[in-house]
Structure 1
Amino acid sequence: MAKRLVIQRLVNLTALRSRLVDLQKAIKTPIKESMSFMNKSLHLESVKLSKNSMQAIDSDLKQINLLLNSIVKDDKHLYRLTQIITSVPGVGIVTALHIIITTNEFIDIHNPRQFASYAGVAPFPQESGTIQRRRKISSLANKKLKSLLHICVLMSKKTIPEITAYYIRKTQVEGKAKMSVINAIRNKIILRIFSCVKQDRLYQKDFSHEFETQLVLKISKPCMFFHVSYMCFN
């Protein structure tokens, strides 16, 4: 289904925002890293010469963030979707917008199994006759989305006791590979998002998990193929 004009606008603005963030990192990171080995006066010179560029990028990012905030708040359906998605612990507004864009407001992609495959967090088996190889992520996966979900996991591990306990139990007690556990948490986040959107409700920790359990069974099968503080862009 064709994307609404407002979604096309979000696509353009989030892409521009990502390029500006990348540009900001490309300038800031080497300068920061040079502190450990560069002459202090040379380092300060680099900071001084890049100051105007950094300020200009910061200003542009601020304008884009305010515009994204305004667009979402002015569209009732978008605002509701962002409220639901960001109610899931660990998920921020940037990730929420990318999910909405990717799924076309959950119209083109409306089940977690398909989304997990597209985001590169649902490995599928490689088989040739009787030979079975290690499961692998599709090279066609949306790497940006996978990266955002990874950031969600890292935030969850630090700030959500339930996720922290799960990670420690799986890696330290059961001896599971860290990336395997991280991928499981990514899938858990996806399941929660789709469950809440499907039922048009905010995430509740003690809510009945019957629907999520049904989604877990589906996703386990391989698939081929904003007040101001609320709109916090990280």
Structure 2
Amino acid sequence: MPIAAASRSEAPTTIRIDLGAIFVSLELSRSKWLITSLLPGGGEKMSKHAVAAGDVVGMLARFAELNRKAEARTGRCFPVIVIQEAGLDGFWIHRVLQAEGIESHLVDPASIATSRRRRRAKTDKIDGEALLRALLAYKRGEPRVCAMVRVPTPAEEDRRRISRERKALTTERVRHLNRIKGLLFAQGVSSYEPLRRDRRRRLEELKTGDGRPLPVHLKAQIGRELDLLELLLEQIKAVDAERDAMFAATEAVSPVPAMLLNLKGIGLEFATVLWSEGLSRHFDNRRQVAAYAGLAPTPWQSGKIDHNQGVSKAGNPRLRTTLIQLAWLWRRHQPRSALTLWFEDRVKQNGGRLKKTTIVALARKLLVALWKYVNAGVVIEGAAMKTA
């Protein structure tokens, strides 16, 4: 009998949850949406229900059913709070929920703590429950429990497409250039430039390294590659024209793009990427700016161990790549600025080594300086402006 009493006293007590809302997580896939919910008056039990992917009507009907159950149990109506991972589905589900008056949150899936076991269990059910627990902790105000995504407006989201499309087209252009040059190099031809205007005429005049005319099928293949290349060049021209028009329209609304363009070393494409990908957003401090670009340092501290693992690379990859490119150009076009002098001094202290590591630090400092420049008007020390 005492043993039974002891076992009862040591048994885990029921978790008491006083919920002021209906908490829901959405685990999205291409085939189905798993809805995991936690209702007031239902203890700690989570319920699961699946609807077909894209079935918004079915999802909202499930929310209405959850409301009816909660009202039947407690006699009160409760708001619905939903969480989902930011991913392939973008932001349209979030906007549908907000239009229905439902509080919705998008979470960065990499920010949710998971088991560190080598072979951890992973199912939609487990992921849905983990999302729900993260939402509960977030609403309780627990710090650093997860990172919620700031959802851009449809206009902001659409504005970023031009620079991203141009980057994709430029990457594709490089692929075709390299393919053409590789095909010709295998025949002993290394002087052909596909971007020249007389590329078609010069292709007809080419001879292999051993003096033969180009093989028929090879010439036909290169001709088709040139067709694709010329189409890409036309598309890049069209995107550039669209970018210029958008830039001119943006200048009438915000002075930031023009302020960026006034700095030496920043051209139209860099100004567009900096504005649309990062500097148009609101940040509370410089740490948030650096973290959004993935340029924030990642410490590793445990006991006597204390070292830096480098930048996190957890932010916007397009903004980070552009800033590192801009940092190299900044040294050339702004040799007297305080940032360039800091870079040169740091490299000198390292005996001329670690330039690539230091350029990342320069990119972080440059981003913070640009953020202060466009938001508070703090002029970058020693920076030269373009002449009219």
TM-score normalised according to structure 1 size: 0.72
Unaligned runs of 5+ in 1: 208-229
Per the TM alignment, residue 63 of structure 1 is displaced from its structure 2 partner at its CA by 0.8
Match of 2:24 in 1: none
- The SS at the match of 1:126 is strand
Distance 1:79 1:52 in 2: 40
Specify whether residues 157 and 191 from structure 1 end up closer, same or farther in structure 2 by C-alpha distance, changes over 3 A only: same
Per the TM alignment, residue 134 of structure 1 is displaced from its structure 2 partner at its CA by 3.0
Distance 1:103 1:122 in 2: 15
Is the CA contact (8 Å cut-off) linking 1:123 and 1:138 kept in structure 2?
yes
Specify whether residues 54 and 172 from structure 1 end up closer, same or farther in structure 2 by C-alpha distance, changes over 3 A only: same
Distance 1:171 1:89 in 2: 23
Match of 2:382 in 1: 205
- The SS at the match of 1:120 is coil
Which among 231, 252, 259 is matched to residue 84 of structure 1? 259
Match of 1:53 in 2: 228
Which among 48, 69, 74 is matched to residue 244 of structure 2? 69
Match of 1:210 in 2: none
Per the TM alignment, residue 188 of structure 1 is displaced from its structure 2 partner at its CA by 3.1
Specify whether residues 69 and 201 from structure 1 end up closer, same or farther in structure 2 by C-alpha distance, changes over 3 A only: farther
Per the TM alignment, residue 168 of structure 1 is displaced from its structure 2 partner at its CA by 4.0
- The SS at the match of 2:374 is helix
Match of 1:190 in 2: 367
Number of aligned residues:
207
Distance 1:182 1:138 in 2: 15
Distance 1:88 1:79 in 2: 17
Structure having the higher helix fraction is: 1
1:161 corresponds to 2:335: yes
Distance 1:144 1:200 in 2: 25
Is the CA contact (8 Å cut-off) linking 1:83 and 1:202 kept in structure 2?
no
Q: What amino acid does structure 2 have at the position aligned with 1:103? A: G
Q: How does 1:137-148 map to 2 (within 5 A)?
A: 137-148=311-322
Q: What amino acid does structure 2 have at the position aligned with 1:132? A: D
Match of 1:179 in 2: 356
Per the TM alignment, residue 100 of structure 1 is displaced from its structure 2 partner at its CA by 2.5
Distance 2:346 2:381 in 1: 24
Q: What amino acid does structure 2 have at the position aligned with 1:170? A: R
Specify whether residues 97 and 78 from structure 1 end up closer, same or farther in structure 2 by C-alpha distance, changes over 3 A only: farther
Per the TM alignment, residue 172 of structure 1 is displaced from its structure 2 partner at its CA by 3.7
1:96 corresponds to 2:238: no
Larger radius of gyration: 2
Match of 1:216 in 2: none
Q: What amino acid does structure 2 have at the position aligned with 1:13? A: I
Structure having the higher strand fraction is: 2
Per the TM alignment, residue 76 of structure 1 is displaced from its structure 2 partner at its CA by 3.8
Match of 1:213 in 2: none
Specify whether residues 33 and 82 from structure 1 end up closer, same or farther in structure 2 by C-alpha distance, changes over 3 A only: farther
Match of 2:171 in 1: 22
Distance 1:88 1:191 in 2: 15
Unaligned runs of 5+ in 2: 1-149, 190-206, 208-213
Distance 2:345 2:306 in 1: 30
Distance 1:173 1:35 in 2: 46
1:32 corresponds to 2:181: yes
Match of 2:299 in 1: 125
Distance 1:104 1:194 in 2: 6
Per the TM alignment, residue 125 of structure 1 is displaced from its structure 2 partner at its CA by 0.6
Specify whether residues 73 and 203 from structure 1 end up closer, same or farther in structure 2 by C-alpha distance, changes over 3 A only: farther
Is the CA contact (8 Å cut-off) linking 1:84 and 1:200 kept in structure 2?
no
Distance 1:147 1:113 in 2: 18
Higher relative contact order (CA 8 A, sep 6+): 1
